[in-house]
Chain A
Amino acid sequence: MNVSISLPMPARHGRIDLSRPIFVVLVLALGLLVVLPLFWLAYYSLLDQNGQFTLANFSALVTDPTLRRPFLTALGMALGVGVLSCVIATPLAWLVARSDLPGRTAIRALVTASFVTPPFLGAIAWEILAAPNSGLINVAYRSLLGLEPYEYLVDIYTFEGLVFAIACYTFPYVFTLVVNALERVPSDLEDASSMLGGRLSTTLRRVTIPLVLPAILAGTMIAILQALTMFGSPAILALPAGFHVITTKIWSLFQYPPKPGLAAAAALPLLIVTIMLLWGQARILGRRGYTTLGGKSSDPRIAKLGRWRWLAIAFVVSVLLLTVLLPYAALLKTALTRTVAEPLTWSSFTLHHVNFVFFEFSATKLALRNTFLLGFLTATIGTAIALVIAYLVTRRSVPGSQLLGYLATAPVAIPGIVLGVGLFLSYSNPSLMLYGTLWILLIAFLTIEMPAGYQQLSSAFKSVHPELEEASRILGGTRMTTLRLITAPLLRSNVVATWCFVFIGTIRELSATILLTTAETKLVSVIIYDLNESGDLGAISVLGIMLLVISFAVVIIANRLPVLGGQRLPAAR
């Protein structure tokens, strides 16, 4: 008898492996998203004011010191931010993930709060705190020591001040990635190290840190790129200090009479630097394997801090004080007093700003609605696309899948403000008129957030051993079924985290937004910027606090929703 025939074959036939058509569609879609604006930028960078071909824009980059200087300043600033973020975030992440420090959940929540904070809002809060004369810290410093007026302790309107104010809101990128990675380092490797006589510091240096190095580097790289392409914080802090970075300079090129050609050309060096950074990262990581999440995983080891405990607490408290607690206390105070300089007392207490924002200021409601609508859409669509791309690329399932990875990462090289211009040029012609609608903002946000989403998910994929997927595939699952049934659930905490990343990123976005909003498509970030331009700190504080509360609520709900997998993986605890 021919038994083997009647045995059900793994049911591969009849089901189409969708990964190839999906690959093609994604390449086309991403290509359109990324290439179209770049094409228009390249085109415009080669035109002079009258529409004639010229290379003058590029030669101006080298010869004109008012263009050269902002670029070098921005590079220095971004590197400073990267180093500072890494130095703050790595120990913090280790303490939270792997030590017996008390209050770890609260620390996580507060770091999330600083991540949810749009950097430009943080910059405004730091103006309130550390402006040399009116800054609350300096006022307290003078009155404590009985100093003369104009003496000050800290001045936020400096290069160092700017680096600090940006790092406060970029370190969570490093933190989140490193915490996730630390939780995935299997304890057997560390056990092996300690069994062989390695002390905690040796294990940390020889085993743990090398294993999470990809996460540290990826986080630092995101921090550097964020800083390099950031517009809001430099516009708020660098201009008063009397210097430009490249983004504020590019922005100033759109003042009347606008010079889009020069702006487009000025974006080119940024593109090159970014590509070099990405290449550098790939070189450092090399071909080493970092698979840490296999089918059999064990709880991470928790280190006892012992006498180092107090030092650790002091470190954590000062980080959180500087990045979250003080800025929000300052915003709260400003929201409730008439002017920034007054102390909060019964007599200076006022609900004027609250009343103004909710009942007099006509833009509030519309902006809130648009902001959260776009946040949800971008996060959901963006995460879905990033998940598929990360899967296809890390598993090299389709020939040429690396191309998708490059396309998904490419937008990181385009500063938001330049992308804003590119998108404006692409989607404001009569045949494709999206300018003035929310669609152009959705496209902008998807493009801007794709690199972060992709990076995060692909580093997650790299840490999942393919053995589990191979099992599914052997049993007849197609690639997409496997992704849906095996890999995605394994990574659901990463997926939720990515969703939140993208959601928050959208809410924080200002640089592309500022060129793409119109009366009916305005966003909270833009009205905050407009209000800052006219110095209405009270109204900004009210809006800022509201933005924080709502986005924080969204993040908490997203992390708790049972549909999304409820609490994190057990290991995260």
Chain B
Amino acid sequence: MMKRRTVLSGALVSGLALLGAGGLAWAQAPAPYEPNQEMIDAAKKEGTVVWYTATDVQVSEKVGNAFEAKHPGIKVQVERSGSERVFQRISQEYGSGIHKADVIETSDAVHFLLFKRQGWLQPAVPSDVAKSWPAQVKDPDGQFAAYRAHLSVIGYNTQQVKKEEAPKSHADLLDPKWRNRIVKAHPGYSGTIMTGTHALSEALGWDYFEKLGKQRIMQVQSSTEPPKKLAQGERSVMADGNEYNMFMLKESGVPVEVVYATEGTPIAIGHAGLLKNAPHPNAAKLFYAFLFSRDTQQLISDVGGLRSFHPEVKEKEGRTPLSQIKILYSDPTKLEPQIEEIKKKYEVNFGT
């Protein structure tokens, strides 16, 4: 198996520079750290690490198992739900002074703006992040960093749709022949789709969603779900959904194919952060560093199809490198005040 080496392309990094996160990089970030024996021993005493995550459950359980194999005696409690559910839960818990989570990860970059503003995050910079992460995808104060990135893509079932007939762009989805054939995730329930809806509404205008809403789409919640509906053959085309689920299905032999739309493909950056009130501070710190290590990043790329910011991660053959994809970015600082309005407009057009 030849693996092609890809570093996240210059195009991506320069795109991210537009987000305006840069500037005063590393202003107050703490010194980078590397797990040492002392930390490992302390972590073993704590025995558990609780991870709130929005990554697909099969992938996050694998990451958990890999950590348990590396550090026997420390259990990883994986708490997976959709990004907005994770956010809802942590807000509820922290609102009532309950501190159950050690490390948190969602695919909605806006959440981390809020977590930071609330002062819930513990600044910590694993050495991999300090060394290799582009400044645009880590917090200048060292409170969070991009654990993963993934695209929200168009896709189709290759048994039901021929390659020539498959949609090439978002505009193609408006063709009447796709009426009743499309599955789509919901911005109210999925951070990825909220980010994607924002990016697409800026690129294509709400006009696009108005027309898509008349296609009698099947509405699902999480962005992990449309690929699975394609795999079942329940719908033939998906208007949005996680690229990494598509990879996983395709590589296990399920007849689905990804389309990178000519107008561009939205990207969702999934940050991870260490919680200040983590009940298992050492295990949390150990696990947090583990998430960004080359091996873990390689693992989530291989089994999870996620895009990594680690320069040494080699992507599987057959996956289109990011440098060849036109990417649409959403600025979390611009998205945040618009969330309410996006949801309202979405409900008007799609019914829920």
Q: Which residues of B contact A341 (CB under 8 A)?
A: 231-233
Assess A534 versus B222: contact at CB under 8 Å? Given A134-B232, A255-B88, A436-B93: yes
Assess A255 versus B189: contact at CB under 8 Å? Given A240-B219, A519-B101: yes
Contact of B160 among A149, A238, A338 (CB under 8 A): A149
> Contact between A239 and B65 (Cβ–Cβ < 8 Å)?
no
B235 at the interface (CB under 8 A from A): yes
Q: Can you show 27 pairs from A to B with CB atoms below 8 A apart?
A: A133-B235, A134-B232, A134-B234, A239-B219, A240-B218, A242-B216, A242-B351, A254-B88, A255-B88, A256-B88, A356-B58, A361-B57, A363-B79, A428-B96, A429-B96, A433-B96, A433-B98, A435-B93, A435-B96, A436-B98, A518-B89, A519-B77, A520-B100, A530-B57, A533-B81, A533-B225, A535-B228
Minimum C-beta distance from A228 to chain B (A):
19
> Contact between B93 and A244 (Cβ–Cβ < 8 Å)?
no
Assess A519 versus B232: contact at CB under 8 Å? Given A361-B61, A534-B225: no
Q: Which residues of B contact A536 (CB under 8 A)?
A: 57-58, 228
B97 at the interface (CB under 8 A from A): yes
Q: Which residues of B contact A157 (CB under 8 A)?
A: 218
Minimum C-beta distance from A393 to chain B (A):
36
Assess A252 versus B188: contact at CB under 8 Å? Given A361-B61, A534-B57: yes
Minimum C-beta distance from A148 to chain B (A):
11
Q: Which residues of A contact B234 (CB under 8 A)?
A: 131-135
By beta carbon, the residue of chain A nearest B111 is A256
Q: Which residues of B contact A239 (CB under 8 A)?
A: 186, 219-221, 352
B173 at the interface (CB under 8 A from A): no
Q: Which residues of A contact B174 (CB under 8 A)?
A: none
Q: How many residues of B contact A (CB 8 A)?
A: 65
A362 at the interface (CB under 8 A from B): yes
Q: Which residues of B contact A435 (CB under 8 A)?
A: 92-93, 96, 98
**Stretch in B144-152, B198-206, B294-302, B339-347 with 4+ CB within 8 Å of A:** B339-347
Contact of B352 among A242, A340, A363 (CB under 8 A): A242
| 20 additional contacts (CB under 8 A) given A428-B96, A535-B229, A537-B232 | A131-B232, A150-B181, A240-B218, A241-B219, A242-B350, A244-B351, A258-B88, A341-B231, A356-B61, A362-B75, A424-B92, A433-B98, A518-B93, A518-B98, A519-B100, A534-B56, A534-B82, A534-B222, A535-B220, A535-B228
Say which size band chain A's interface belongs to: 35 or more
Q: Which residues of A contact B97 (CB under 8 A)?
A: 430, 433
Q: How far is the CA of A298 from the CA of B79 in the complex (A)?
A: 57
Q: Which residues of A contact B225 (CB under 8 A)?
A: 533-535
Q: Which residues of A contact B347 (CB under 8 A)?
A: 66
Q: Which residues of B contact A256 (CB under 8 A)?
A: 84, 87-88, 91, 339
Within B32-85, the residues touching A (CB, 8 Å) are 50, 52, 56-58, 61-62, 64-65, 75-82, 84-85
Minimum C-beta distance from B211 to chain A (A):
15
Q: Which residues of B contact A535 (CB under 8 A)?
A: 220, 222, 224-225, 227-229
B7 at the interface (CB under 8 A from A): no
Q: Which residues of A contact B101 (CB under 8 A)?
A: 519
Q: How far is the CA of A362 from the CA of B100 in the complex (A)?
A: 16
Residues of A near any B CB (own CB < 8 A): 66, 131-135, 149-150, 157, 238-244, 248, 252, 254-258, 338-341, 356, 360-363, 424, 428-430, 433, 435-436, 515, 518-520, 530-531, 533-537
Within B79-129, the residues touching A (CB, 8 Å) are 79-82, 84-85, 87-89, 91-93, 95-98, 100-101
Q: How far is the CA of A452 from the CA of B15 in the complex (A)?
A: 59
Q: Which residues of B contact A338 (CB under 8 A)?
A: 252
> Contact between B218 and A362 (Cβ–Cβ < 8 Å)?
no
Q: Which residues of A contact B100 (CB under 8 A)?
A: 436, 518-520
Within B210-263, the residues touching A (CB, 8 Å) are 216-222, 224-225, 227-229, 231-236, 252, 254
